[in-house]
Chain A
Amino acid sequence: MSFPSQAEEQALHERVLKKNESLASQDVFRVFMAPITRVLCRNRRKTKEEAHDAVCDVLMEYLENPERYLAHKSKLSSYLTRNAEMQVRDMYRSQEARQRREREFGEAIELRATAPNRSLEIIVEARHLVGQLEQAIQEQDRAALGLILQGERSTDALAKAMNLPQLSEKELRREVKRNRDRLMKTLGRIGKEE
């Protein structure tokens, strides 16, 4: 099925503009649906269903606002086909964006997730290590170690957790470093033993 002549298109457009002829919208579908779908399938390599959805949306948009089509600028069929091509492109872009979002989300999950058999081993190892740490590290050092493992770098915060007395800034920094090194050395030793 091919596009109608310009005179036929114009006559149909005038019927649509009046908005008082119920069958005019049905005729727009009868006249344009098949040829525009064919153009989309050929030029854009879309499936028939994708093309149908795009053409439907464009025809509905035209029927709702027929005055947007300016007859002196182009043929109605050209106007509708161009809009349908843009609609297909928009649909393709939003589909691609959705797929990219889903892929990125999937990759993030994949990176963070642990294989089911491995997670059980990790739980056992962690429990064993905690037992070792409790034995190797004294009660007063545990708070400081907790902060260090959480990435705390503030001298004051670490000094408080280490129960250091009032010292000058320079001495406090040196004491915090000394205690920190000692704890890290202990951790390193436990790690080597394992």
Chain B
Amino acid sequence: MSNPDWLERAALRAQRASWTLAYTLERYRQLEDRTEAELARDLGCTREVLYWLCLCRKPEGPDFDTQVTAITERHEVDLRALVDVIRHVEIVDALSERVADSNGEERPIQMAARDRVPGEKTSP
């Protein structure tokens, strides 16, 4: 089945809402300076699949695993890489909020493992 003509437009508009996966993926792209194509490659999917992911609610809460699994069962996407991207953005946002709370203004955060690609295995 071909992708609908509204898909890319809808994915772009979904970035405005922080509860969407579109927001998280866009945030990750900015933090890690990735192009859309690079992000799709990181997640092991096509750009069209990336747009479909954008229309999902960001998995969270106690059903996190179930939600991520459901997404990866419907779309061909690397589960581990998707979890890494979501967690990465959550951690950066949580740290940013903490720094902002303690100083009254946001400061850039140095990420120790910034150059790690999602899904890449690290040596123990």
A residues near B (Cβ < 8 Å) are: 19-26, 29, 33-34, 37, 48-49, 52-53, 55-57, 59-60, 63-64
Contact = CB atoms under 8 A, between A and B. Distances in A.
B13 A60 contact: yes
Given A29-B10, A37-B6, A56-B6, A21 B52 contact: no
Nearest to A29: B55
B63 interface: yes
Interface residues of B, number: 25
Contacts of B14: 56, 60
B56 A56 contact: no
Interface in B42-95: 52, 55-59, 61, 63, 67-68, 70-71, 74
A20 B14 CA distance: 18
B37 interface: no
A25 B20 contact: yes
A55 B21 CA distance: 19
Interface of B: 4-6, 9-10, 13-14, 16-17, 19-21, 52, 55-59, 61, 63, 67-68, 70-71, 74
A21 B10 contact: no
The A interface, classified by DSSP as helix, strand, loop or mixed, is helix
A15 B63 CA distance: 14
A189 to B, nearest CB: 70
B63 to A, nearest CB: 5
Contacts of A64: 17, 19
A34 B10 CA distance: 12
A33 B4 contact: yes
B56 A26 contact: yes
Nearest to A18: B63
B43 to A, nearest CB: 15
